[in-house]
Amino acid sequence: MNRRRETLVFEHPAQALSGRPTAEEWIETFHAQLKERGLKSTAQRDEIAQAFYRMGRHISAEELYGEVKQANPHVGYATIYRTLKLLKECELVSERHFDEGQARYEVLGERHHDHFICERCGRIIEFENPQIERLQQAIAQEIGASLTRHKVELYGLCRDCRGGVNK
């Protein structure tokens, strides 16, 4: 394959996170969006949003609940879910369903990327490939559809797991 190397691979969180708004900017946007909708800023919403931002990528509601609980043992699951829903509506967070029972959430507002999921160790590697992006737009056009979002998920064995004992 004589294609020039276009894919950017984000194996280390620091790489993937570059270009992402700072925690302050992000929370500020959240507050602005709340105000715009006539909704209130509360201590819980801030705690949850901050914990979410701090924890990093591909967080489940359960993990977020655990984290927030440490700072404030009184929060309930309901508030976690309600706040995540709110963050989605404000387009600060996107919800993803990898092949599991539960949803995972990630911070929006950084560069678009897709995911590789290791089927053995569960590691998630992000990558970005402009050709795939272009191709998807072209396909939508052929279908006659407009595209609002898309996802590419690759499943397999990561480098480390390939080198492992079996296979």
Partner DNA sequence: TTCCCTGCAAAAGTTTTGCACTACT
Partner DNA sequence: AGTAGTGCAAAACTTTTGCAGGGAA
Binding to DNA (CB under 7 A) within 30-69 occurs at 34, 38-45, 60-62
- The interface partner of residue 25, options being a second copy, DNA, none and the CB cut-off 5 to 8 Å by kind, is none
CA 156 to CA 9: how far, in whole Å? Answer: 16
Q: Least separation, in Å, of the C-beta of 103 and a second copy? A: 9
The Cβ of residue 18 has, within 10 Å, a number of other Cβ atoms equal to 10
Please give the C-alpha separations between residue 18 and each of 21, 24, 131, in angstroms, as whole numbers: 9, 15, 21
Contact residue for DNA among 6, 77, 91, 137 (CB under 7 A): 77
Residue that the structure tokens 């911070």 belong to: 107
Interface mask (CB under 8 A) for a second copy, residues 5-34, using x and -?
Answer: x-x-x-x-----------------------
Please give the C-alpha separations between residue 155 and each of 32, 106, 141, in angstroms, as whole numbers: 38, 19, 27
CA 103 to CA 126: how far, in whole Å? Answer: 17
**Hey, what are 130's tokens?**
């402009």
**Does 118 help bind a second copy (rule: CB under 8 A)?**
yes
Q: Which residues lie near a second copy (CB under 8 A)?
A: 1, 3, 5, 7, 9, 11, 95, 97-100, 116, 118-119, 125, 127, 129, 131-132, 134-136, 138-140, 142-159, 162
Q: Which residues lie near DNA (CB under 7 A)?
A: 34, 38-45, 60-62, 72, 74-79, 81-83, 85, 101-103
